[in-house]
Amino acid sequence: MQQGKNNFSKNSNFAQWKEWKISQWWLKQYAALMKHTEDLREWYRIHSRRLHHNFHNMVAGHRMAGPISYLVASSALAIILTLTTLYAPSYMVTINGETVGIVTDDEMVEEAIAAVEQQGTDILGYEYQVEDQIDYQFAISLRTDLSTEKTLENYFYGQLEKLTGEMRKYQVLVDGTVVGVAKDEAAMEELLENLKVRYVSEDTVSSQFLNTVELKPVYQVENIMTMSEMEDALLANKDGSTTYTVVAGDTFNAIAYANDMSVSDLKALNPDVDINRLMVGDILNVKELTPILSIQTTDEVTYTQSIACPVETREDSSMYVGSSKIITQGVEGEEQVEATVTYINGQETAREITSTTVLREPTTTIKAVGTKEKPKTASTGTYRWPVSGRITSYFGSRYIFGSYSYHSGIDISTSYGAAICAADGGTVTYAGYKGSYGNLVIITHDNGTQTYYAHNSSLLVSTGQKVYKGQQIAKAGSTGRSTGTHCHFEVRVNGRSVNPLSYLS
Ligand SMILES: [Zn+2]
């Protein structure tokens, strides 16, 4: 039931053509209907030209001139009415040579295009235009065969879908912040899965991102990242570089301040660095590593750990207050622990012990503690200066009396007759003249350490006497091998002289 071969492109004078085409069709239908009757054929011959103009009037019920009986005309009318109920003049829509639907009006196609163009523009971010070649071919179609606007839209949406599919990239967002753009959704999903299991061990029961990760379709983008670049970006430190390279003039305090950290925090991040000996070029850790994408894993672990010995104390009146002695050393016990451990980026952040089972009980340590009141002359273990004054000669090698020699103590300059005091409590084990030392006092302290006080003008203690810390034991002088009034002070540990400055407080 289709006639006509005229193709009209989208922008031709469609409306005029349509009107002409419809009148032609009615003319031919009418002629076919009357063919079997001579009268009608004759009528057609005579009136074919006029019919073209008058057809519509007739259908509307206007009286017609001609040799047809009223009966014939009315039955023809009935048939025409039936035909127009079932059939409609229409246009086959052909796009790029492919028939996509049948419409009664080209406006339906234009509306579908407009809707899809709007949608395409919104998605793609630039003005999207349907550029297909659209042809209309006149046809008489069953009304039930007519396309809906939806059918046409679907065709154009299909075209748009194909284009966006080719252009679609995936913007990766972590907590709403764009990290980069990936080309392939499946590869990106795979990378995320791999990152998620990065810290998984055989004990791991769950692993998840602490951040919200989204893949958002985008079009018209440049700077597509490779999966390896994407991985680096996701694992990069959130707050920039985590290290700092020391330059001339830097101090530990200044570096801590510049990085908004306390000195102790900076020290904790750099346990091997001597804060007093920073060298240009040293690399310090200045921040905890906090990747843009953080991964939390939870492990369920079982392990054994020791149980400390309980300690039982026993008073001992033969020992001074403050001193103690282990009488029986206990043996540590052992327990099995089950715990749930949480890690963020592989660093433990929480440990919840879910159960403990004692495998072996510890035995008790028995400790004796002194109760005897400490005498004034007992050693404290720390040493005070025997006299205050300037150090005129330090411990170690020195050049004196025209040659190099080893100085076994320090020389403290003081005035003649000044009080020389015991550095700590102890027993006088020497008090008298001794060669180059001159008048010398030696005090042996409770732990065996000895202190020497030399070159005194006079001595105030005698051998065997107990002295307390700070007690005056002599008067300053310049006896023995001496160049002026001073106190030569020596500390001997296990009989060997050591640097007194390491002991004085
Ligand atoms: Zn000396």
User: Could you tell me the distance, in angstroms and rounded to a whole number, from the CA of residue 447 to the centre of ligand 1?
Assistant: 24
Q: Cα of 486 to ligand 1 centre, how many Å?
A: 8
Tell me, in angstroms, the distance from the centre of ligand 1 to residue 464's CA.
25
Spatial contact of 106 and 136, defined as CB atoms under 8 Å apart: yes
* pLDDT, mean of residues 443-449: 95
- Residue 409 Cα to ligand 1 midpoint, Å, equals 6
Number of other CB atoms surrounding residue 161 within 10 Å: 15
The CA 491 to ligand 1 mean position distance, Å, reads 12
Band of the pLDDT at 8, cuts 50, 70, 90? Answer: very low
pLDDT of residue 131: 83
- How would you classify residue 201: left for phi > 0, otherwise alpha for psi between -120 and 50, otherwise beta? beta
Query: Distance from the CA of 476 to the center of ligand 1, in angstroms?
Result: 13
Q: What is the DSSP string of 69-88?
A: -HHHHHHHHHHHHHHHHHEE
CA 483 to ligand 1 centroid distance, Å: 10
Ligand 1 centroid to residue 395 C-alpha, Å: 8
Residue-level pLDDT at 23: 67
CB–CB of 383/425 below 8 Å? Answer: no
Find the 406 Cα to ligand 1 centroid distance in Å: 10
User: How many A from CA of 230 to the centre of ligand 1?
Assistant: 71
CA of 378 to the centre of ligand 1 (A): 27
Query: From the CA of 437, how far away is ligand 1's center (Å)?
Result: 8
Q: What pLDDT is recorded for position 16?
A: 66
Nearest to 173 by CA among 109, 233, 86, 249: 233
Question: Which residues fall within 8 angstroms of residue 181, CB to CB, at 6 or more apart?
Answer: 169, 170, 171, 172, 218, 221, 223, 224, 225
> Is the predicted pLDDT of residue 342 greater than 80, yes or no?
yes
Per 3-state DSSP, the chain is made up of helix, strand and coil in percentages (nearest 5) of 30, 35, 35
What sections of 210-331 are H helices per DSSP?
Answer: 227-235, 252-258, 263-269
pTM attached to this predicted model = 0.51
Asked if 128 and 120 touch (Cβ cutoff 8 Å), the reply is yes
Q: Which single residue is written with the structure tokens 């998605």?
A: 123
Which of these ranges, 74-88, 192-206, 279-293, 479-493, has the smallest mean pLDDT?
A: 74-88
pLDDT (average), residues 386-403: 85
What is the tens place of the pLDDT at every residue in 12-53? 466 666 666 666 666 666 666 555 454 555 544 544 444 444
Domains and CATH numbers, the chain: 1-166 (no CATH), 171-235 (no CATH), 243-285 (3.10.350.10), 296-372 (2.20.230.10), 391-502 (2.70.70.10)
Report CA(432)–ligand 1 centroid distance (Å): 17
Whether the CB-CB separation of 140 and 90 falls below 8 Å is answered with yes
Centroid of ligand 1 to alpha carbon of 401 (angstroms) = 12
Q: Ligand 1 center to residue 451 CA distance, Å?
A: 13
> Residue 98: how many CB atoms within 10 A of its CB?
9
**Taking phi first (over 0 means left), then psi (-120 to 50 degrees means alpha), and beta for anything else, what does residue 71 get?**
alpha
